[in-house]
């Protein structure tokens, strides 16, 4: 991709960002002008709160200034108002737009929800922050595996009831066990690295089947059930696409051996939650650590809330205090590539939307 802007490249900050990180973006190249007006951006309620405080509102004059600022830019840092509707509007209004960088790793869903047609989507690039979240997600996945093997749910119940069991129950060794990772992308490979450090043998799935150093077996998703027969733990990192929806079905859960630990840090739509509950109740799955769900927030009536062997995490496992810095550093690197006419990494696939 060649950047046709030869003199000045205008970058507009569409989401909340610390001033010192904005300065890092300005320092990428003298030809870059960064438009940033904190008065037009909602304050963050917590680190990396890209949507900002929902109570924030702009005056009519501020709203006009916000969109005027964004419509001057060839490059956007964040979706306008961090929303699909914001992306749809900027695509209609900004004739200069060449590239939008999204805060999320799984930004394909937002691009799809914008409703933009293929002709419009071909006019500019959309990149994600994939990879920035790999380490916190992998650490969370490791926690889920350890929780399942070390019976943390039962320990918590006994502690709450002040029960000291008469019979001592052994825990399971992680070292020497087998992990299957559905989705050997950046998150999956980082999870594999940590799992191998714990002594696990790792296999997994990938769209393009090829040998990967340190991975015992690699198959596509059609071969997932075959891998599960020997798995002690399973981690899903797959995005939500039409090709992954309901992948973890009754058939796939039934292919697991009894007592499998299941962790989901991908997307909730990849899992048939009724089938997961059945697998928990019949013992195929001994413990489930879930950061994502088919419907979010998780409905109050969902049995997952109070299941004794399920950990519910409110889609926060990727969040870390370093997230804004890591995304800004990733964007700065990408901006350098953009200015040099290189190929941007982590482009959203506008056919499959991931």
Give catalytic residue positions: 267, 296, 315
* Distance between CA atoms of residues 112 and 109, nearest Å: 5
| Residue 193: partners with Cβ closer than 8 Å, 6 or more residues away | 138, 214
Give the SS3 label for residue 203. strand
Q: What is the CA radius of gyration of the chain?
A: 22
**Count of alpha carbons within 13 angstroms of residue 68, beta-carbon side:** 8
Measured from the Cβ of residue 61, the count of other Cβ atoms closer than 10 Å reads 8
Instruction: Name the β-bridge partners of 290.
Output: 264, 312
CA distance 354 to 262: 23
Q: Look at residue 111 and give its three-state secondary structure.
A: helix
* Alpha-carbon distances, residue 26 vs 20, 33, 35, 328 (angstroms): 10, 7, 9, 11
DSSP 223: G
Extended strands (E) in the chain: 9-13, 32-35, 75-77, 99-101, 125-127, 178-182, 201-205, 218-219, 233-236, 260-264, 285-290, 310-312
DSSP one-letter string for 49-74: -SS--TT----HHHHHHHHHHHHT-S
For 324, list phi and psi in degrees, rounded to 5. Answer: -60, -45
137 and 190 Cβ atoms separated by less than 8 Å: yes
* Cα(56)–Cα(63) distance, integer angstroms: 12
């Amino acid at each position: 991709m060649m950047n046709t802007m030869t003199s000045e490249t205008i970058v507009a900050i569409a989401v909340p960002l610390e001033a010192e990180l904005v300065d890092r973006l300005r320092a990428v190249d003298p030809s870059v002008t960064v438009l940033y007006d904190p008065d037009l951006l909602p304050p963050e309620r917590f680190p990396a709160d890209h949507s900002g405080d929902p109570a924030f509102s702009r005056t009519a004059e501020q709203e006009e200034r916000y969109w005027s600022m964004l419509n001057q830019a060839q490059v956007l840092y964040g979706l306008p108002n961090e929303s699909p509707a914001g992306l749809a509007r900027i695509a209609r209004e900004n004739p200069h737009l060449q590239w939008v960088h999204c805060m999320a790793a799984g930004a394909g869903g937002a691009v799809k929800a914008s409703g933009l047609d293929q002709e419009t989507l071909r006019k500019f690039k959309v990149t994600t922050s994939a990879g920035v979240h790999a380490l916190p997600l992998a650490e969370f996945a490791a926690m889920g595996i350890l929780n399942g093997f070390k019976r943390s749910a039962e320990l918590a119940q006994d502690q709450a009831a002040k029960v000291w069991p008469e019979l001592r129950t052994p825990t399971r060794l992680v070292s020497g066990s087998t992990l299957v990772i559905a989705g050997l992308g950046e998150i999956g490979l980082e999870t594999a690295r940590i799992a191998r450090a714990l002594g696990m043998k790792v296999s997994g799935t990938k769209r393009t089947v090829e040998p990967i150093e340190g991975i015992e077996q690699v198959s596509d998703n059609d071969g997932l059930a075959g891998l599960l027969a020997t798995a002690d733990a399973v981690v899903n990192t797959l995005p939500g696409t039409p090709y992954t929806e309901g992948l973890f079905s009754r058939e796939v859960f039934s292919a697991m051996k009894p007592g499998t630990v299941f962790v989901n840090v991908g997307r909730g739509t990849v899992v048939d939650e009724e089938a997961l509950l059945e697998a928990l109740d019949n013992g195929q799955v001994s413990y489930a650590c879930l950061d994502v769900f088919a419907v979010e927030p998780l409905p109050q009536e969902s049995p997952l809330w109070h299941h004794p062997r399920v950990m519910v995490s409110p889609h926060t496992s990727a969040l870390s205090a370093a997230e804004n810095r890591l995304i800004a550093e990733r964007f700065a690197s990408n901006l350098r590539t953009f200015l040099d006419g290189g190929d941007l990494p982590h482009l959203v696939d506008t056919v499959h939307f991931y």
